[in-house]
Amino acid sequence: MEIQLKDSNTSDAASLAVHKSPAVEFLERFFRSNSAIIGLVLLLILVAAALFAPVFAPYDPYESNMPNALTAPSSAHLMGTDELGRDIFSRILYGARISLVVGVQAVSLALICGVVLGAVAGYYGGKVDTVIMGFMDVMLSFPSILLAIAFMTVLGRGIDKAVIAIGIVSIPQYARIVRSSVLSVKENVYVTAARAIGNGDGRLIFVHILPNVLAPIIVRATIGISDAILEAAALGFLGLGVAPPTAEWGTMLGSGRQTIFNAPHIVTFPGLAITMTVMAFNLLGDGLRDVLDPRLK
């Protein structure tokens, strides 16, 4: 009985959708997903904060004011001041820039390397596959944060180095997804047909195969940004990430740690900012998964 009800619902939806362009259909489904909308709204707030930080920030995030150090939140300092008397709210606004940039760049780096490696491994198979995936397996044999720490130890501190470290350790995830997706589409008739009319390997992979495995990659990359932001914050917290005095949320947490007993606000707000950012990408990723590829759920 219930099955029949569902059938009639889906056939309704299908018959309605026939006349719409894929973009319109995507948007309609996207805006029907609560998590996608909440994620998008949070993200827009963050992007606005990052872009207009100089406009919104009431103080210079780097100007210390020792007599005013460690004051609790007040109307003058919305989130209080840190151990050097800097305005935490202003620092958090500027910190949004760093977190977003590190997250997006690290994932882009991982994505480019992962897609190429995964596609090559999946497409050619054999020894190439064994070598590439063997390498990936070794990387996956370490907790990624530990590997990132190891890389940072040898690379030294800095935003660009954090991007490289986090990017490298996330490569295997993308390589795996791309490889298995390529394996599953490789034998499809349309790929065989494209090969038969004389397409080269590169064209086959990038024009005929990859566009068909885009959905899981987009979803993974969106959630991957949240992982990257968490890892960047962890590196900052351990004193390995972005060097002070740069306003980076993890670093703010790390340096505020000493004073939690008398000024708990100093770690509260940067942590909330990280949580909100990570949540935005998680929600967006969950929403995109529902919209793009319900089977992944």
Enumerate binding residues for another protein (CB under 8 A): 1-2, 4-5, 134-135, 137-139, 141-147, 149-151, 153-155, 226, 230, 233-234, 237-240, 250, 253, 257, 260-261, 264, 267-268, 270-271, 274-276, 278-279, 282-283, 297
Structure-block tokens of residue 170? 């996330």
Q: Is residue 81 a contact partner of residue 87, using CB atoms and an 8 Å limit?
A: yes
Least distance from C-beta 163 to another protein, angstroms?
16
Q: Please report which residue ranges of the chain form alpha helices under DSSP H.
A: 2-17, 22-32, 34-51, 53-56, 88-124, 126-139, 144-155, 159-186, 189-196, 201-203, 214-237, 249-256, 265-292
Least distance from C-beta 199 to another protein, angstroms?
35
CB nearer to another protein: pick between 209 and 225: 225
Phi, psi torsion values for 87, nearest 5 degrees: -75, 120
CB nearer to another protein: pick between 125 and 271: 271
CB nearer to another protein: pick between 117 and 209: 117
CB nearer to another protein: pick between 58 and 134: 134
CB nearer to another protein: pick between 209 and 230: 230
Least distance from C-beta 50 to another protein, angstroms?
18
CB nearer to another protein: pick between 78 and 155: 155
Query: What is the dihedral angle through the alpha carbons of 145, 146, 150, 155, rounded to the nearest 10 degrees?
Result: 10
Helix axes 159-186, 88-124, angle to 10 degrees: 30
Burial 147-159 (b: 16+ CB within 10 A, else e): bbbebbeebebeb
56 Cβ contact list (under 8 Å, min separation 6): 49, 93
Phi, psi torsion values for 81, nearest 5 degrees: -125, 160
CB nearer to another protein: pick between 96 and 278: 278
CB nearer to another protein: pick between 57 and 284: 284
Integer Cα distance of 236 and 138 in angstroms: 26
User: Scanning the structure block, which residue is given the tokens 């063997």?
Assistant: 134
Least distance from C-beta 209 to another protein, angstroms?
28
Least distance from C-beta 252 to another protein, angstroms?
11
Is residue 176 helix, strand or coil? helix
Give the other-Cβ count within 10 Å of 293's Cβ: 14
Integer Cα distance of 288 and 8 in angstroms: 25
Least distance from C-beta 22 to another protein, angstroms?
27
User: Scanning the structure block, which residue is given the tokens 């309704």?
Assistant: 12
Least distance from C-beta 208 to another protein, angstroms?
33
Least distance from C-beta 111 to another protein, angstroms?
21
